[in-house]
Amino acid sequence: MLNTIQIKVRGYHLDIFQHVNNARYLEFLEEGRWAFFDDFGGIEFMGDGIAWVVVNININFRAEANFGDVLEVQTRYTKLGNKSITMKQTIINTQTQDLVAEADVTYVCFSKTLKAAIALPDDLRQKIEQAIVVSE
């Protein structure tokens, strides 16, 4: 499953060099993940004392984005572990088709009660496995 959203670069996204500040890309990526989860069936899987905790973000910046650019954030699942999921995200400039940034984001399934990572519930694991197969 691939989810996409578009974000228009605004003045408040820019740094003193007049291109998108690196920290803003993390916000763009997060917005993309929330949209993905909305389309994936909401975040009902966050109930029952379970939370999803980001434990790693690896981002590569490839090209600058500037005021007025429209960026497409693409998000999909790529890897499923026993206690974790990894998502691949790319940010594309829709006008130039340049790859602006790409990131791998890893979450762990976290028990709020135990305060520890736990194995993914079986029903969620099956749903994610199907989403990975569809996007391959």
DSSP 11-52: GGGB-TTSBB-HHHHHHHHHHHHHHHHHHHHTTGGG-TTEEE
CA-nearest of 37, 43, 36 to 4 is 36
Q: From the candidates 15, 69, 104, 122, which is the catalytic residue?
A: 15
Q: Active site includes 69?
A: no
Count the helix, strand and coil residues of the chain and give each as a percent rounded to the nearest 5: 30, 45, 25
* CA 88 – CA 59 distance, rounded (Å): 10
Structure tokens of 112? 């709020």
Catalytic residues: 15
